[in-house]
Amino acid sequence: MRWRARVWVTLRAGVLDPQGAATRSALVSLGFTGVQTVRAGKFLELELVAASREEADRQVADMCRRLLANPVTEDFRYELEGCQEG
């Protein structure tokens, strides 16, 4: 079975976000003065083959913990959906 996983990797609360801060000030100077905060993160889309939803789920969680996010500074979250054979 083929699965599509969407993974969000975001900075943990309390970790300074230089990219978010710079983006916010760029937006404000473009005239978007209502922007209060910006937090920047990563968004990854994966396609994988796994025997079952449980198996896919287990694998994606594992990938996030081991590689995709750094636990010192980042949190992760993901969604999984089955996709048609292409």
Partner 1 sequence: MRFGVVVFPGSNCERDCFHLVDQVLGRPVRYVWHQDTALERVDCVILPGGFSYGDYLRPGAIARFSPVMGAVAEHAGAGGLVLGICNGFQILLEAGLLPGAMLRNRSLQFQCQDVFLRVEDVETAFTRLCRPGQVLKVPIKHGDGNYHVDPEDLAARGRVVFRYSEADGRVTPEANPNGSMANIAGLANLEGNVVGLMPHPEVSAEEVLGGTDGRVLLESAVRYWEERGPC
Partner 2 sequence: MLEDRPWEAVGLTEEEYRRCRELLGREPNHLELGLVGLMWSEHCSYKTSKVHLAKLPNEGPGVLQGPGENAGVIDLGDGLALAFKIESHNHPSAIEPLQGAATGVGGILRDIITMGAHPIAILDSLRFGLLEAPRNRYLFAGVVAGIGWYGNCFGCPTVGGEVYCEPVYDGNPLVNAMCLGLVRTAGIIRGRAEGPGNPVLLAGAPTGRDGIHGASLLASREFDEKAEERRPSVQVGDPFLGKLLLEACLEARDTGLLVGVNDLGAAGLTSACSETASRAGTGIELELDEVPRREPGMTPYEVMLSESQERMLIIARQGGEEVIARIFRRWGLEAKIIGRVTADGMIRVREGGRMVAEVPAAALTREAPVYHRPERAAERPVLDLGALPDLAPSQAGAWLARLMGSANLASREWVYRQYDHLVGVNTALRPGSDAAVLRFKDRPGGVAAAVDGNGRHCWLAPRLGGALAVAEAARNLTVSGARPVALTNCLNFGNPERPEIMWEFREVIEGMAEACRALGTPVTGGNVSFYNETLGQNIYPTPVVGMVGLLDDIAHVTRQGFQSAGDRIILLGRTRDDLGGGEYLKLAHGLVAGPPPGLDLEAEVRVQALCLEAIRAGMVRSAHDCSDGGLAVALAEMAVAGGEGARGLDVDLAAAGGSRLDTLLFGETPSRIVLAVAPAAAEGLLALARRHGVAAVELGVVTDGRVVLRQGGRTLVDEATADLEAAWKGALPCLMAG
Binding site for partner 2 (CB under 8 A): 12, 14-18, 22, 29, 70-73
Judged by the rule CB under 8 A, the positions of this chain that interact with partner 1 are 15-19, 22-23, 26, 29-30, 40, 67-68, 70, 72-73
Residue 50: name its binding partner from a second copy, partner 2, partner 1, none (Cβ under 5 to 8 Å by kind). a second copy
CB of 57 to partner 1, least distance (A): 21
DSSP-assigned beta bridge partners for residue 78: 7
Q: What spatial distance separates the first Cα and last Cα of the chain, rounded to whole Å?
A: 11
Taking the least distance from each CB to partner 1, the nearer of 28 and 61 is 28
Tokens standing for 65? 């913990």
